[in-house]
Structure 1
Amino acid sequence: MKRNAGAFARTGVLLLVLFTLVGGVPAYAGSWVHGTYTNIWGTRGFQLWVPTGYQPGQALPLVVGLHGCLQNPDQFAGLSRLNQKADAEKFLVLYPNQSTLANGTQCWNFMLSSNQERGIGEPSIIVGMVGWVKSHYSVDSRRVYVGGVSAGAVMTSILLACHSDVFAAGMVGAGAMYKAATTASGSVYAMAFGSIYDPDDRGYDAWSCSGRQRRQVPVLVIHGTEDSVVNPINGEQTVQQFLRTNDYGDDGSDNDSVRYAATRVGYGSVPGGRNYIVKDYVYGGKLLVQQYEIHGMDHAWPGGDAAYPFADPSGPDATTIMWDFLKQHSR
């Protein structure tokens, strides 16, 4: 009888785990949940990290992590150690997964016009995933963030521009500004030499994409000075673009209430590793843009796990830098 009771209990646990993964009810803490999301623009898979200590009813921040080309959610999570940070700081992490059917190298198609406006294309799928997480888990809607690397970083720029009502702040790592390119060939040029478009003009376009809302979009920009894949000028253009977006965002006018001028410049170094410069842009009492220029770093995630491609362990810990920046902001 005891043996049967034990078997029944084990079966119950297995059924509960199965129901959790399939039915979308809150999963066990410190675990992956896999799923797919579909709208009229397509279907993409995703992985959700539910951190240790998660309890239904206790609203947590949500970070959307966007992988780069030749990556998937598992690799980006491993590279960044973002799940470990989520366990320590108590936030959920959503990893959308680009389909190889949509892009053979798993790059987000940031260069296509169908993905550069509000409510359409791949950004709408990612925003839909955020809605799914909110409907199944306890999420603080005021503290939803997005950050990415490379192609995922450029998609981050689009999401911050066109869905500033969803995301409170974001991080652009080794990426580019909103609408840095509008064609595939244009993206090749932009990555090599910088965008041909004026960042100030794109700053207005980004503000317009969210419906000209009177709100600002804090952004962290991290780029290596020796990036051989995405020219470092793209990082500088991203800073300038979002400063102009925030200039419009506070009062609806281009009146230099937010300027392309750092209010503080600091210097740091990793013991035995890389030196870096930090530029803060604080206007109206808010840290609106923070820029890290990491000396000598190529196209990489600084401080990343060396077991994964695109890691630069000698750089400062980008994951900690990102979370320390994001958690300062709420909608």
Structure 2
Amino acid sequence: MKYGIDTIKTGIFLFFAWLALAGSANAQDAAGHWDIGLYGNLYGSREYQVWVPADYDQTRPLPLLLVLHGCVNGPNLMGEASGFNDVADVEGFIVVYPRQNVTANPARCWNWQLPINQARGSGEASILAGIVDAVKAGYAIDPRRVYVTGISAGGAMTSIMLACYSDVFAAGAVHSGGMYKGATTVSGSAYALLAGSIYSPESNGRLAWQCSGSPSPRPLPVLVFHGSADATVNPVNGQQAVRQFLQTNDLADDGVDNDSVKYVPTSTINAQVPGGRAYTIDSYTYGGRTLVQHYVVQGMGHAWSGSKSGLPFTDPDGPDATLITWLFLKDQLR
């Protein structure tokens, strides 16, 4: 098989990134540890688990990554499937995994489709923001480097957190999820999962910009990851998330809907995992900065790409979504 120059460049980049992580891992034998927390407000309470990385030092503020699990899942399985804890031990960042209550959703899905959870200071969004505040108060955290990611229902909830708390998060990554307010009812969410949202990404991009609560929200870098054969969350949801955040960023750069940030990729890379899946990367840059990046993994279903855990909803043949996500987020500053 012949590979293009973009494929080779991407492969070399990820290879050397792995070498750097592996070298750091060999240099340290200690592993991190779990702490358990509980946060509550008027809208309810949620347990959460904090992965404190190896060699944590209270005098050295670290980045924080909020990770939102999918349905029928939880912090431990999400940590194992993604492998974020291993990367955190090497790279030095704190990982926070909230747990959805069965009383709030019997399948432990985040209720991203309910309007009460789609607003700043309200519902589950306020609880998740409160968890972030609690961890920032209890650990040495760099407030400029707070990030959020999630998969499936957690991915859709990630879009809400990015939209409504752009003053908290420096960047985020939506895996196998959807755009902000992709549905506003339970029946609407079922349709969106099957065929995509009925709402315009451009209109929802404006709603996301308005939700932040800031008079002048800032541009927000977002990574979108999706499998082309996802039968649980139609891949069109990933496309809509890209368009929505491009529209949000178009408004955020100068407060005017003037197509300054365009829905046209500035670069497209076709790549291949050796012995695994092909994938494409569309990057959208503005002012020399990548604002949105869209990964589509060919033939992958509803799964965390690149996971070697063997757990359900993981695919070992895709590109390493965990490493790609961290490399995208780690240098973004609020």
Normalised by the length of structure 1, the TM-score is 0.91
Within the candidate set 138, 147, 150, 2:149 is matched to 147
- Please tell me the residue identity of whatever aligns with 2:84: L
Counterparts of residues 42-61 of structure 1 (less than 5 Å) = 42-61=44-63
Q: Per-residue displacement from partner, 1:109-163 (whole Å, max 9, x unpaired)?
A: 0000100001110011011011111111000000000000000000000000000
Partner of 1:104: 106
Instruction: String of CA shifts for 1:261-313, please: whole Å, max 9, x gaps.
Output: 10000011111100000010010111100000100000000011333111100
Aligned with residue 39 of structure 2, among 32, 37, 40 = 37
1:142-192 Cα offsets, whole Å, 9 max, x none, are: 000000000000000000000000000000000000000000000000000
Structure 1 unaligned regions, length at least 5? 1-27
Q: Does residue 182 of structure 1 match 2:174?
A: no
Contact 1:29 1:50 in 2 (8 A): no
- Determine if the alignment matches structure 1 residue 126 to structure 2 residue 128: yes
Q: Does 1:215 align with 2:218?
A: yes
User: For residue 116 of structure 1, what is the amino acid of its counterpart?
Assistant: Q
Structure 2: how far apart are the matches of 1:309 and 1:78? 11
Q: What's the secondary structure of 2:56's corresponding residue?
A: coil
Distance apart, 1:326 and its partner CA: 0.4
How far apart are the structure 2 equivalents of 1:200 and 1:133?
34
Q: Which letter maps to 1:202?
A: N
Distance 1:86 1:257 in 2: 36
2:154 is equivalent to residue 162 of structure 1: no
- How do 1:7-22 residues align onto structure 2 when only pairs under 5 Å count? none
CA distance in 1, matches of 2:330, 2:94: 13
What's the counterpart of residue 75 of structure 2?
73
Between structure 1 and structure 2, the one with the greater Rg is: 1
The reply on whether 1:84 has 2:86 as its aligned counterpart is yes
Paired residue secondary structure (2:282): strand
- After superposition, give the CA deviation of every residue in 1:35-78 in whole Å (9 maximum; x if it has no partner): 11010100100000000011002000000000000100000000
Q: For the Cα contact (< 8 Å) 1:214–1:251, is it kept in 2?
A: no
> Aligned with 1:146: secondary structure?
strand
* Count of paired positions: 304
Q: Distance in 2 between matches of 1:61 and 1:255?
A: 34
Query: Runs of 5+ in structure 2 lacking a partner?
Result: 1-29
Letter of the 2:197 counterpart: S
Cα separation, 1, equivalents of 2:129 and 2:308: 28
Where does 1:250-289 land on structure 2 (aligned, <5 Å)?
A: 250-289=253-292
Could you say what the CA RMSD is over the residues aligned between the two structures, in angstroms? Answer: 1.0
Deviation at 1:29, TM superposition (A): 6.7
2:278 corresponds to 1:301? no
Find the aligned partners of 2:44 and 2:163 in 1 and give their Cα distance.
Answer: 21
Q: Which runs of 4+ in 1 moved over 2 A?
A: 211-214
Relative to the length of structure 2, the TM-score reads: 0.90
Provide the secondary structure at the position in 1 that maps to 2:45: strand
Match of 1:202, SS state, is helix
Shift of 1:213: 2.5
Amino acid at match of 1:161: A
Q: Secondary structure at the match of 1:70?
A: coil
Aligned partner of 2:196 in structure 1 is 194
CA contact (8 A) 2:167 2:217 kept: no
Q: Deviations over 1:71-128 (max 9, x none)?
A: 0000000000000010111000000100011000000000001000011100110110
Q: Secondary structure at the match of 1:133?
A: helix
Supply the AA of the counterpart residue of 1:252.
G
Tell me, in whole angstroms, the C-alpha distance in 2 between the residues paired with 1:305 and 1:179.
Answer: 32
The residue aligned with 1:6 is none
Offset at 1:323?
0.3
